[in-house]
């Protein structure tokens, strides 16, 4: 899964720090043991000599069975003595052995020539944190989404109840090849809240999610287009948007208009669709307004390949402000 060169390098650097920390801690424990029990250092040296003799014996050829059995017995005796001294001096094996966070790859990031799951997970986490650090994910859950704000009439309540149900089902069954969703409706109707609730569920399942407004992504894409100081492609927003497991593009149509950004966003949406990677798009604009802004082909891609959910009702933020105002007046 591609997250851009910088994310990969930062993840590898973090694993290197973990590995170094584990090995340095173990070495400090071992040196403390040696200072308290000098005989332990001698045993380790004797064990190394014994292993070297065994290797030399194998290379020499001939009938080496008896000699190897003798060397094996010596090695086991030295190991037993070392373990006994460790215990007698109040130390444990864990204190002198590197405690890697990932025992499979020993914090190298690779196992049998393949990228370890720990490195994949770390890249996902870093990409998520980098692009979503300002998103209130913990506050946007299905439990905190209240239908009380949609009780102005039966139609509104039923429609928003159905949207909540659809979003819950989508989140519960979310997979890397889930379908796309398109949220449309006025401001303050819960589009962002439910988008983030789905993101929450996907993250908890271990999927990599990138959330952002169209304006945020537009700024990043434009900056990287003209920033010649970033020649190594480290800040590759485009590849991150295409490669993540779930992309949530909020407030489409609110970004500063630009032919380049329009083309870049279309490329992201189209590439993800062809790769069967799910995308959730939300907008305050009507389909006609989107068509005027991005063109017929752009809108056709969305209407033909996204599940359409129309949010209706009254601005929740305005309702909350009125409630707070009324409470102060009481």
Instruction: Count CB neighbours of 130 within 10 A.
Output: 16
More confidently predicted of 193 and 128: 193
Of 215, 162, 205, 194, the residue nearest 280 (C-alpha): 194
Q: Which of 17-21, 56-60, 160-164, 265-269 has the lowest mean pLDDT?
A: 56-60
Domains of the chain: 19-114 (no CATH), 134-329 (3.40.50.300)
- The 10s digit of each residue's pLDDT in 211-265 is 889 998 999 888 887 765 554 444 578 888 898 889 999 999 999 888 999 999 9
Q: What is the pLDDT of residue 132?
A: 61
Q: What is the pLDDT of residue 203?
A: 82
- The 10s digit of each residue's pLDDT in 98-146 is 999 999 999 999 999 999 999 988 987 886 676 566 666 677 899 999 9
Q: What does pLDDT average to over the chain?
A: 88
More confidently predicted of 93 and 206: 93
Q: What is the pLDDT of residue 90?
A: 95
DSSP H helical segments within the chain, as ranges?
A: 5-36, 38-60, 65-88, 93-96, 117-132, 154-172, 191-204, 214-226, 237-243, 259-274, 287-294, 296-305, 316-329
- The 10s digit of each residue's pLDDT in 271-309 is 999 999 999 999 999 999 999 999 999 999 999 999 999
CA angle 221, 225, 231 (to 5 degrees): 115
């Amino acid at each position: 899964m591609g997250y851009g060169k910088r994310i990969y390098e930062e993840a590898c650097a973090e694993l290197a720090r973990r590995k170094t920390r584990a090995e340095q801690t173990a070495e400090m424990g071992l040196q403390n043991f040696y200072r308290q029990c000098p005989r332990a250092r001698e045993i380790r040296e004797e064990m190394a000599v014994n292993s070297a003799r065994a290797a030399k014996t194998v290379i020499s050829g001939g009938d080496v069975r008896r000699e190897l059995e003798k060397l094996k017995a010596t090695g086991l005796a030295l190991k037993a003595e070392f373990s006994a001294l460790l215990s007698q001096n109040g130390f444990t094996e864990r204190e002198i052995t590197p405690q890697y966070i990932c025992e499979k790859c020993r914090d190298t990031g690779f196992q049998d020539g393949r990228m370890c799951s720990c490195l994949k997970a770390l890249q996902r986490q870093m990409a998520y944190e980098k692009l979503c650090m300002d998103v209130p994910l913990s506050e946007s859950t299905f439990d905190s989404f209240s239908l009380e704000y949609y009780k102005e009439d039966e139609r509104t309540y039923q429609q928003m109840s159905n949207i909540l149900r659809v979003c819950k089902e989508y989140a519960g069954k979310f997979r890397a090849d889930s379908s796309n969703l398109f949220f449309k409706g006025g401001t303050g109707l819960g589009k962002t809240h439910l988008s983030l609730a789905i993101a929450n569920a996907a993250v908890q399942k271990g999927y990599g999610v990138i959330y952002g407004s169209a304006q945020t992504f537009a700024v990043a894409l434009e900056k990287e287009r003209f920033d010649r100081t970033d020649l190594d492609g480290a800040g590759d927003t485009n590849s991150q948007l295409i490669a993540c497991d779930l992309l949530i593009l909020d407030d489409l149509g609110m970004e500063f208009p630009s032919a380049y950004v329009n083309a870049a966003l279309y490329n992201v949406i189209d590439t993800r669709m062809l790769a069967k990677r799910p995308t959730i798009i939300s907008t305050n604009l009507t389909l006609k307004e989107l068509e005027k802004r991005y063109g017929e082909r752009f809108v056709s891609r969305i209407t033909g390949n996204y599940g359409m959910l129309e949010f209706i009702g009254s601005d929740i933020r305005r309702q909350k402000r009125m409630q707070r105002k009324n409470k102060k007046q009481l």
